[in-house]
Structure 1
Amino acid sequence: MAATENVLIHGPAGNIDLIIDTPDRVRGIALICHPHPLFQGANTNKVAHTLARIFRDLGYAALRPNFRGVGKSDGSHDHGIAETEDMLAVIGWAQSRWGALPLALGGFSFGAFVQTRVAARLADSLTPPERIVLVGTAAGEVTGARSYSTEPVPAHTLLIHGELDETVALGNVMRWAEPQELPVVVVPGADHFFHGRLHVLRRIIERTWSPLP
């Protein structure tokens, strides 16, 4: 039966704190990344939690690590650079546990930015991500005097953004997506955290992807 567990695994800087949601039968592996750790981002964030439960319901073991310095994860914030290495370590651990199953990536805000880096690193590997969903993707100048040079992503990436996102302006994501010819699914009335719109997020993803066989 479906289960949720908390585990600590060893990463490049020490412990990585993980929540894992598993379906009755694991048919894939999904890595879910949470928003910015210096702005209260953690693996319990409701958007990250929603993404994990959606992937679990699609047949994936959904792994939600805490970034460095959050929860029981060791290390300190490194603006996405060392975090990328940590996420690759989480994927490696998951593959050692469940094998080379279909891989999916999901990220929200800063976590989406990190996932663009992870996807770039895995593009030429034996197990490139078959499904990628990025929500509220950090791109360009964002609130908090931060700026992101976000990596291009595969053409099959699903981009979802809130019309009224007050942290990452919709125009930022449009400008990033345009040269890649990537469509952006815009949720009318949604803010950065998708307050009152999480059910729409689920509907978009489930309409796009079928459960794993």
Structure 2
Amino acid sequence: MPEVMFAGPDGRLEGRYHHSDTPNAPLALVLHPHPLHGGSMNNRVTYSMYRRFQEMGFSVMRYNSRGVGRSQGRYDGGIGEISDAAAALDWMQMVNPNSTELWVCGYSFGAFVGMQLLMRRPEIRGWVSVAPPANDYDFGFLAPCPCSGLMIAGGKDTLAPESSIRKLVDKLNTQKNVEVDYRVFEQADHIFAKQIRQITDAIEDHVTVRQAFFLSVEAEED
């Protein structure tokens, strides 16, 4: 789990990167929760998602956004943090120039940043959003959402209420060629203290299904 430092738009950013042994392996970028509420790349949910992508054979990265840990700069209300995510993605693509499958995965505030990145980078083929703060942030920018993905909510989450996430899912599912795999863990609050394994199992299940779909589409094109 090598430590990496890479250039961000407001100074150097600190990350952890695992390079897959598989040539041209798929890539995953994992984004942490809100930095003003203790969010960092070492958050338990963030770390667990990172590990599961690693176990699935991905080259995967988690990193601290500006002002967190050893990353330079200061919190920028989400705007600069989107630029940080883009810089992390640039770094991964520089290291893996021939990889053709890219996923973005975020938890809480990281889910908001990840979905913003999704709209800016058409090469992203899949996404995972865990407890996106749909009641605090306007996700109307997902119009249209460029691809399908996985969304996870906690039934007892008071910070990112399931009802607000469900409204977002319903809206996305009306869009052409978009299908949100929506999973609600009824006993989970925003911390998901007892549902980490459920989250990572859901991610593996969803990614496996989507990868089979990618292969079928590629076979038809050939």
- Normalising TM by the smaller chain, what interval? 0.7 to 0.9
2:127 matched residue in structure 1 = 132
1:149 matched residue in structure 2 = 138
Shift of the alpha carbon at 1:183? 4.7
Segment drifting more, 190-199 vs 103-112: 190-199
Asked whether the equivalents of residues 181 and 206 of structure 2 are also in contact (C-alpha less than 8 Å), the reply is: no
Asked whether the equivalents of residues 167 and 192 of structure 1 are also in contact (C-alpha less than 8 Å), the reply is: yes
2:86 matched residue in structure 1 = 88
Shift of the alpha carbon at 1:206? 1.7
SS in 1 for 2:208: coil
C-alpha distance 91-100 of structure 1, shift in aligned 2 (>3 A)? farther
C-alpha distance 155-104 of structure 1, shift in aligned 2 (>3 A)? closer
SS in 2 for 1:209: helix
Segment drifting more, 114-123 vs 93-102: 93-102
1:162 matched residue in structure 2 = 154
Normalising by structure 2, what TM-score? 0.84
1:143 matched residue in structure 2 = none
* Richer in strand (by share): 1
Aligned-partner Cα distance in 2 for 1:198–1:23: 23
Q: Percent identity?
A: 29
The answer to whether 1:9 aligns with 2:9 is no
Segment drifting more, 188-197 vs 107-116: 188-197
Shift of the alpha carbon at 1:129? 1.3
The answer to whether 1:25 aligns with 2:17 is no
1:109 matched residue in structure 2 = 108
Alpha-carbon displacement from aligned partner over 1:120-171 (angstroms, at most 9, x marks no partner): 0013xxxx2122111011112xxxxxx3112323441110111111211111
Shift of the alpha carbon at 1:24? 3.0
- Structure 1 runs of 4+ aligned residues shifted over 3 Å read none
> What's the C-alpha RMSD, in Å, of the aligned pairs?
1.7
Shift of the alpha carbon at 1:44? 0.2
SS in 2 for 1:62: strand
Structure 1 unmatched ranges of 5 or more = 141-146
Aligned-partner Cα distance in 2 for 1:155–1:184: 14
* Richer in helix (by share): 2
Asked whether the equivalents of residues 20 and 64 of structure 1 are also in contact (C-alpha less than 8 Å), the reply is: yes
SS in 2 for 1:179: helix
Shift of the alpha carbon at 1:198? 0.7
Asked whether the equivalents of residues 5 and 15 of structure 2 are also in contact (C-alpha less than 8 Å), the reply is: yes
Aligned-partner Cα distance in 1 for 2:137–2:75: 15
Asked whether the equivalents of residues 155 and 180 of structure 1 are also in contact (C-alpha less than 8 Å), the reply is: no
1:180 matched residue in structure 2 = 172
Q: Which one-letter code corresponds to 1:93 in the other structure?
A: W
Segment drifting more, 67-76 vs 91-100: 91-100
Q: Aligned residues, how many?
A: 200
